[in-house]
A and B are shown apart, each in its own frame.
Chain A
Amino acid sequence: MTAPDALTQHTFVAYVEDQPGVLNRIASLFRRRNFNIISLNVGRTHVPGISRMTVVVEADDDKAMRIEANLYKLVNVLSVEDITNQPNIVRDIALIKVKAPPEKRSEVLQLCQVFRARAVDVGPDALVVEITGTQDKIMGLLTILEPFGVLEMVQSGTVAMTRGAVGSAAKALTQDRPRIVA
């Protein structure tokens, strides 16, 4: 646990109804309550009609509690869990387009191998490298590739999941699921 007043990154997992405007409601809530989003990711789940969000926010523990309570107040939010202090898996994915003329190509590929990144496109003068991992790992590769000349980069938001058995947010989803009117 962190000290009560320390600003840390909190990672929330939220299940939401897959309806138009839900992302807007969540983003609006964070803006209105002055909660600073570091990363936000939304995607479909194996359950039809339900999306899962991973939100990383800078907050102390009190604020994190209020974020969770405020998320619950949104009618389209089905369940929320702050997984910060649980064993978890946190991943980002990045695509990096790096300058790699034929004479440099093998050197770049070798470095990528160290990071378990892989080339997904090879052009005459550039490579597109895909890397999955934590922020630190991605930033590590980026630093190494910078001298070659990074041409473009894109990164997903963080996705996260607790280790071990079913997380409480997912559990809440399967228990007592009343039917949806409308």
Chain B
Amino acid sequence: MAQPSTHPTPQGMPQQQPAIRTLTGAAIIWDVLERQGVEVVFGYPGGAIMPAYDALPGSTIRHVLVRHEQGAAHMADGYARASGRVGVCVATSGPGATNLVTGIANAMMDSIPMVAITGQVPSTLIGSDAFQETDFTGVTLPITKHNLLVTRCEDIMPAIKQAFYIASSGRPGPVVVDITKDAQNQSMQYEYDPSPVRLPGYRPERQPLPEELKEAVEMIMESKRPMIFCGHGVTEANATSLLLELVHKTDIPVALTLLGLGGFPAQHPRSLGMMGMHGEAWVNTAIQEADLIIALGMRFDDRVTGNLKTYAQNAKKIHVELDPAEINKNVKVDLPLLGDVRDILRQLVPHVGKVDCAEWVRHIEELKGDSAVRDIQDLPDSGQLFAAHVIHDLWRYTEGKALVVTDVGQHQMWEAQYYKHDHPRKLLTSGGAGTMGFALPAAMGARLACPKDEIWVIAGDGGFQMTAAELATCSQENIKVNVAIINNGFLGMVRQWQQFFYGGRYVATPIKSPDYVLLAQAHGLKGICVKSRSEVKAAVEQARANPETTLIDFRVAQEDSVYPMVPAGADLDAMIRRPKPEVKSAPHNPIFETGDDK
């Protein structure tokens, strides 16, 4: 986590009030949140959380009223991903709380620090099937790092403090604090206890043994075909600069997971790009040939490994990981190093030197010839707008510096392939859970975390419609993000699977969109429709200049597919490649077709 040491102490709130005050549980909620450094919460009121909302005006915390609680959870998630701090969402009991569930599960899968505060029916009614009663700690038990049910006013402060500590320490994750209405209504003599949280059964820190580190150094120095895997843990541990040092000293090339993108600069000469199902062909081929894998803060997801029986059989594996339960879960490793990626790199880097792998690096460079580059070059230059064009142009016009939030599906993979992220926390995407509808609300959360960043949502026409209601929140709360809808009229990734694996039967994948320009206007926002490559630049510039959220409806080729592709469960190097076009109509690379390209 970003700042594990800072959060248990109050963030220097000016103490005007006397130390001991009589406060309601509702007021205590906001006081404790303020003292955790919370500036904004995303939420939606309702019966069981009304006392808390009634006490909100006395707080310095900004509240963003969402249109659906799923949006609140994704906003808190996006806020956390962009800032490294804990994101907070608030909902009422019953349906309000259950609407958070997708967002909480999403945060759990990607290890995002988040605290969800929910109202609960009065403690006297618990278990009676009262109006809007849901057993929310029961519902969220398998999708939270921890959860707490609070039925007494005096337990609110310790519960929220614990929630922040657990959410942000060790391997981060979401924590639910479910607070009954009577606990919010009770009053008590309250004094904030600034002492650090200590939980006897919770030990988030780990340290590898010195002999294990020594063994790791030996394995690295003896390797001939080594690769470093950069996972989400590199970003979560703020370990990018140490990873750069490691690569500068050893010269080992780096492959990245989807959530690892940005953890190592994409334009670094030793950056290979993304691995896995839609990873670069040369990366997947190299993984199968490598003799050493140094996996940093990643969990060998099935989308990364393909068939486990044939995965990286030639490689010894060093697994640097904070969570012991990830060791040997999917891939059997030779040397686990348990601990924070940054701590471990700090101890490793001084002891490594240049690794004799020049031949290997040259070999990987050669593999690039037969690669995703070819996939783009073979895009027929038919005057059609391709998603790859849009994303490549966005990368150029934003100079690669935008904070991009992607949804889930084809556009997400194209973004990962064609937008080169050189800095951590500049690509926010739903990786483990693959939650459609994530992008717009997560980008809105990121906006509040990073007021100065240029923020782009890249979403498909399917996912965007799932949470498009949050456009009204953008309008009401003056939240400005730019939205690029990669509109192909299909649920594209499912359509691609239908094309490849289900005999081309497009069942329930053609999807109609509203007129996005009118939709934007209806919300008091701006909308632009782009149908050809030549219109991209002006539209992007206009969106950047507009003070309000601007939607661009990019009408891209309808039946384009993401290449290369490792079918689920297939060997990692058994990739489906883009078919060669029969007529070679584009001798030049169509992705560099405009005049001002360099």
Contacts and interface: CB of A to CB of B under 8 A. Distances in A.
Given A24-B141, A78-B200, A73 B158 contact: no
Contacts of A72: 203, 324-325
Contacts of B328: 62, 65-66
A65 B142 CA distance: 20
B501 interface: no
Contact of A181 (B199, B323, B324, B327): B199
B491 to A, nearest CB: 29
Given A28-B142, A73-B325, A21 B199 contact: no
Nearest to B159: A182
A17 B325 CA distance: 21
A46 interface: no
A73 B197 contact: no
B316 interface: no
A132 interface: no
Contact of A28 (B141, B145, B323): B141
A178 B138 CA distance: 28
A76 B137 contact: no
A73 B146 CA distance: 9
A73 B321 CA distance: 14
A77 B201 contact: yes
B200 A180 contact: yes
Given A32-B142, A73-B323, A73-B325, A179 B201 contact: no
Interface residues of A, number: 27
Interface in A69-108: 69-70, 72-79
Interface string A112-154: 0000000000000000000000000000000000000000000
B198 A179 contact: yes
Contacts of A32: 142
Interface residues of B, number: 28
- A65, A177, A181, most chain B CB atoms within 10 A: A181
A75 B137 contact: no
A28 B345 CA distance: 35
A72 B200 CA distance: 11
A177 B201 CA distance: 9
Contacts of B332: 62
Contact of B197 (A21, A79, A177, A181): A181
A182 B155 contact: yes
A42 B158 CA distance: 27
B166 interface: yes
Given A62-B328, A69-B325, A75 B158 contact: no
Given A21-B149, A75-B199, 4 more contacts: A65-B327, A72-B203, A75-B202, A79-B201
15 contacts: A21-B137, A24-B141, A25-B141, A28-B141, A29-B142, A66-B327, A72-B203, A72-B325, A74-B201, A75-B201, A180-B200, A181-B161, A181-B162, A181-B195, A182-B155
